[in-house]
Amino acid sequence: MSVIERIGKALEPLMLVMGLVSPIATLPQIYKLYFSHTEHAAGLSLTTWVLYSFIAMLWTIYGLYHKNPTIWVGNGLGFLMYLAMVAGIIVRVGMTF
């Protein structure tokens, strides 16, 4: 069995968890923006985080449409996290790219 087959098979029951890792992994980035490194907010791309939010919102709707929690749970949480990034950047820096 190849490495790809091994890992692919092992991931099968972990899809919902995997969908939650990236949203939760955004917390240290939010912490830096809001609390510990606010003076560096200009280094964050408003474009990037707006598009991350938009795509997470579309996936959330898509997951709800298919009644598939594996899709909408992680993306719903992701949408809130990325939106927090967008809000923080706008508050600290205003308009930027």
User: Residue numbers of the site for a second copy (CB under 8 A)?
Assistant: 4-5, 7-9, 11, 18, 21-22, 25-29, 31-33, 37, 39-45, 47-48, 51-52, 54-55, 58-59, 61-62, 64-66, 97
CA 97 to chain centre: 19
CA angle 42, 86, 29 (to 5 degrees): 70
Closest to a second copy by CB, 26 or 77:
26
CB of 75 to a second copy, least distance (A): 11
Rounded CA-CA distance 30/82 in Å is: 9
Rounded CA-CA distance 80/60 in Å is: 11
CA angle 26, 17, 61 (to 5 degrees): 75
CB of 87 to a second copy, least distance (A): 16
Name the residue type at position 12: E
CB of 59 to a second copy, least distance (A): 7
CB of 91 to a second copy, least distance (A): 14
